[in-house]
Amino acid sequence: MRYARLGERGPVVSRFGLGTMALAGASPEDADRIVGAALDAGITLLDTADVYGDGRVEELLGRVLTAERREKIVLATKFGLPMGSDPKARGCSARWIRTAVEGSLRRLRVDHIDLYQAHRPDPETPLAETLEALHDLVTEGKVRFTGTSAYPAEQLVEAQWLSQRHALAACCSEQPAYSMLVRSAERSVLHTCRRFGVGVITWSPLNGGWLTGKYRRGQPPPPDSRAARGNPFVVPTDTAKLTAVESLEKIAQDAGLRLADLALAWCLEHPAVTSVLLGPRTPGQLDGVTAAQAVSLDEAMLDAIDQVVPPGVDLDPRNTGWHPDALTTRHRRRRPADYPTSNP
């Protein structure tokens, strides 16, 4: 396993990280085996969120992260997406951040979180309020580093500006969706992160299983796949993705690679990307992870991939996990005075 610093200010992390959303339905024994397999593979970044299983995944991790394991990892979690049915249990307000962090600390059974991330932008809360609340947690020692997930480039810039202007702890990382089928982060987010020394942790590198080749034209999805379980973001009849995957698989075969190895190696090729999150549901799905780091993609291969899905293009825009609130009818019809502002 190789390692890199998360941006200019963050901790050193493994180039592949363990994403834990798939553990929502796992038993404690399965969670223990997956975490153990990740550590055995040299993975040191473990990423979760309070919303995964409505707190259950954090509770599972709290049970399997022994003191010895805890010392080896950078423990990252996220806040902001709705927790349960309470409309107040969500967002990036100072009030909810204070409540959310205490809940995560309790469920994870730790005294601090290494990387605490805003799961999605909150159009109802001024960004300055969010950053001030996170700064307070860093000052108190409950959080070591802070970050964001699925934030657009303009908010990443605003966050850096506000942190400098008000002497706040600056976010050290951003977590966008990124794969050969979902490339919109290349338009501005990845460049902005490089410009401001922000590390990048990417999620869904295999695009919900598409880039393992499990979905085939004219064939039903495998019984254990996301599509078979009814995930609305994985549509096995998506013609654009079927066509793209067939072409990408040919590129991988010509290079003597598995499609999944090509997909993982491709994510690491971008100079802005620090770490790529994997989301295994079994320990066996981590087999060969370190081999993907050794794959070198030459210019001809990268150009061929660009011909299949051009830079900056998403084959399914829903896969980015966030869409600008400014495009909603509600936002278009509000008066300018109604918008929350980060300016003092």
Active-site hit among 52, 116, 178, 215:
52
* Consecutive H or E run containing 331: helix 329-332
The string of DSSP letters for 127-181 reads HHHHHHHHHHHHHHTSEEEEEEES--HHHHHHHHHHHHHTTPPPP-EEE-B-BTT
Find, among 52, 81, 30, 28, the residue nearest to 277 by Cα: 52
Provide the Cα torsion 120, 121, 127, 129; round to 10°.
-50
Assess contact for 216 and 222: CB atoms under 8 A.
no
Distance CA 277, CA 294 (A): 17
Find, among 265, 239, 249, the residue nearest to 304 by Cα: 249
Q: What are phi and psi of 287, to 5 degrees?
A: -60, 135
215 tagged catalytic: no
Q: What are phi and psi of 137, to 5 degrees?
A: -65, -35
How many other CB atoms are there within 10 angstroms of residue 22's CB atom? Answer: 18
Would you say how long the chain is, in residues?
344
Find, among 234, 254, 232, the residue nearest to 242 by Cα: 234
Cite the active site residues: 52
